[in-house]
Chain A
Amino acid sequence: MRAEAGAMVAKSPKLHIRGKMWGGFFGAMKRSVLGGETFFFQEISAEDGNGDVLLAPSLIGDVKVISLADGQDYYVQSGCLLAALDHVEMGTKAQKLTAGLFSGAGFFVLHLKGSGHFVISAFGAIMEIPIPAGQEYIVDNGHVVAWSGDTEYHMVKAGKTWWSSMTSGEGLACKFQGPGKVWIQTRNPRAFGAWVGQFATRRGGLASLIG
């Protein structure tokens, strides 16, 4: 299996860990620069016998195992993939311009297909929302973690009018179309970061500009 670099917490001594560039140098480059993932992934293999490994993400929040089955593929927000089994194929895909700018999931998202399981991590709890065919669901931007490839989403204003969207504090949201599933995180890392930022002192400043 492969896991995000630095994700391991504990393991059995029989398991081996190796740093690997998943998908070759350029694949790793693309993934880390564009997809916001770590450049190296650790490959945990059971060469000498069975064992178990504990993994944890750096953010405080849920992890969720998703099974790749039935030919379904999934998109995962960059930086939210914690681990994947060996047979999962991972690629980086670009989103549409509006989605890339405003969805909070970034311009490049990870595309997972193949067979096996993968694990997503998020900030806060992860909720799985099934969207039946022909129905729609609206998720505030910054809360989308993963979605199945059969769904698609568009950026819409959260309220009925621009004024109500802005004043309600929601602004833009992602409207998903069924059929499919979407996984959301109950907390918005960026909003949390902004909240923490009020109490943090600024570092760097002018001195770093002159170098």
Chain B
Amino acid sequence: MGRSICHTPGRTCITHRINHVDKYQARFYDSSGNAPDQVQVQVESGKVSICGTTFGIPFEELRLEVGGHDGDRFKLSSEKQNVTIVSEDRTFLHALSAAARGTELGKQAAQADHKIVKRGSHKARYWSIVVGVVLAVGITGYLILDPMSAAIATMIDPKFEIKLGEMLARTDKLDKKSENYLRVTGIAQKLTAQLEKCPYKFQFFVKKDKEVNACAYPGGIIIINSALIEKAKNDDELAGVMAHEIGHVIHRHTLKQALHNCGLITCLSLVSGGVSGPGEAEKLETVFALAQKLESLNFSRAQETDADITGLELEVKAGYSGEGIVNFFKRLEREENTLGPGSARLFSVLSTHPMSADRAAKIEAELKRLKQTSGQP
């Protein structure tokens, strides 16, 4: 490409040609399939030539197309000479399109340049679509998780649920003799006697543990930690907690929660691209554990309320006051506050069943209603 210095446009120009031609980096492939040579090419007098050699290919023989894995480079190939030149240098493309203007090659060069430039914006659009779809699938999946797991739960046979619970709960080493156990079974008998048409067989177990907590497994196995029994001042309080756990079983909350977790795994796999390749199953597990923590996979507030209401009904029918559960949790909260934050682990039941003012109010309202209905013969 020549350089011209033109002082006055429209007049005779003093053109000073310097023997300077722009050079471009490219890779030169011959027909052998060997590794390419790095070359410098120039566009000169109707030819693309390799610097330092006499080799040149006339424009008519060249065909240009965009290529490469990312579509970010162009290939100039000549069938006659059986060679291909690959370059990423867009100034080379500009020079070609200027020098070969009006020819097929010039047209191809201009189109290729357009295509390479457009690639960037295409990519942005492509990625926003991909991210959008993934998010949409993830969010929809997440939103329909609970209704879905509730729907699936109705299809599961209670017999299977009981088996599942027996598989999950390790009850063989639990205490079946102590005073605590006798106290629990005594209350349990009174409570379960009030159940009508329940497919579950309730079994209560006592676990020696310093943590104040209780948990219900699908199908009717309920494990109560010894610390909780000792913290309960009277049978009313203990019955409150036990009836609440029975409520969870009747409403199949654990089963729904397990299904919810299954769904969550599916959602996460969809979003993260699933398990593939070595070590990715572990990675997914870590992500899942993190998600579990973030989401705090306890029963939802609505589920707690359901369990509360069912529990209260049982308690009142069995002849307990019904005020036990609120009193128990309120006292525990006060104790935790006086003991300081270090005791939070011991009172884990509080974090899984926080007695909010709202929950207490709901329980009291329900209790009032129950007492009214039972008071009217």
Q: Are A107 and B273 in contact (CB under 8 A)?
A: yes
Chain B residues with a Cβ closer than 8 Å to the other chain, count? 44
| A106, chain B: closest CB distance, angstroms | 7
> What range describes how many residues of A lie at the interface?
35 or more
**Contacting chain A: which of B176-184, B195-203, B257-265?**
B257-265
Q: Are B277 and A189 in contact (CB under 8 A)?
A: yes
Q: Are A147 and B82 in contact (CB under 8 A)?
A: no
B143 is an interface residue with CB less than 8 A from chain A? no
In whole angstroms, what is the CA distance A119 to B32 when docked? 25
Q: Are B35 and A190 in contact (CB under 8 A)?
A: no
In whole angstroms, what is the CA distance A134 to B32 when docked? 11
**Contacting chain B: which of A10-18, A22-30, A157-165, A177-185?**
A177-185
Query: Cβ of A207: which chain B residues have Cβ within 8 Å of it?
Result: 167-168
Beyond A106-B276, A190-B276, A210-B257, is A152–B82 a contact (Cβ under 8 Å)?
no
A21 is an interface residue with CB less than 8 A from chain B? no
| A5, chain B: closest CB distance, angstroms | 12
Query: Cβ of B36: which chain A residues have Cβ within 8 Å of it?
Result: 70, 72, 150, 179
Q: Are B261 and A209 in contact (CB under 8 A)?
A: yes
Query: Cβ of B27: which chain A residues have Cβ within 8 Å of it?
Result: 70-72, 150
Closest to B218 in A: A210
Query: Cβ of A190: which chain B residues have Cβ within 8 Å of it?
Result: 276-277
Beyond A130-B35, A206-B164, is A151–B69 a contact (Cβ under 8 Å)?
yes
Q: Are A179 and B68 in contact (CB under 8 A)?
A: no
B278 is an interface residue with CB less than 8 A from chain A? yes
Partner of B69, one of A36, A134, A149, A206: A149
Which A residues from 132 to 184 make CB contacts under 8 A with B? 132-135, 147, 149-153, 177-179, 181
Query: Cβ of B88: which chain A residues have Cβ within 8 Å of it?
Result: 71
Query: Cβ of B29: which chain A residues have Cβ within 8 Å of it?
Result: 132-133, 150, 178-179
Partner of B258, one of A94, A131, A149, A209: A209
In whole angstroms, what is the CA distance A106 to B254 when docked? 37
Q: Are B70 and A149 in contact (CB under 8 A)?
A: yes
In whole angstroms, what is the CA distance A134 to B36 when docked? 14
Query: Cβ of A97: which chain B residues have Cβ within 8 Å of it?
Result: 130
Partner of A79, one of B25, B258, B265, B278: B278
Query: Cβ of B257: which chain A residues have Cβ within 8 Å of it?
Result: 210
Beyond A132-B33, A150-B67, A152-B68, is A209–B38 a contact (Cβ under 8 Å)?
no
Given contacts A111-B70, A151-B68, 8 further A-B contacts (CB under 8 A): A95-B69, A97-B130, A132-B29, A132-B32, A134-B79, A134-B84, A135-B33, A190-B276
Using CB atoms and an 8 Å cutoff, list the residues of chain B in contact with chain A. Answer: 25, 27, 29-38, 67-71, 73, 75, 77, 79, 82-84, 86, 88, 127, 130, 164, 167-168, 254, 257-258, 261-262, 265, 273, 276-278, 280, 292, 297
10 contacts between A and B (CB under 8 A): A71-B25, A71-B88, A97-B130, A133-B83, A152-B68, A152-B69, A206-B168, A206-B258, A209-B258, A210-B261
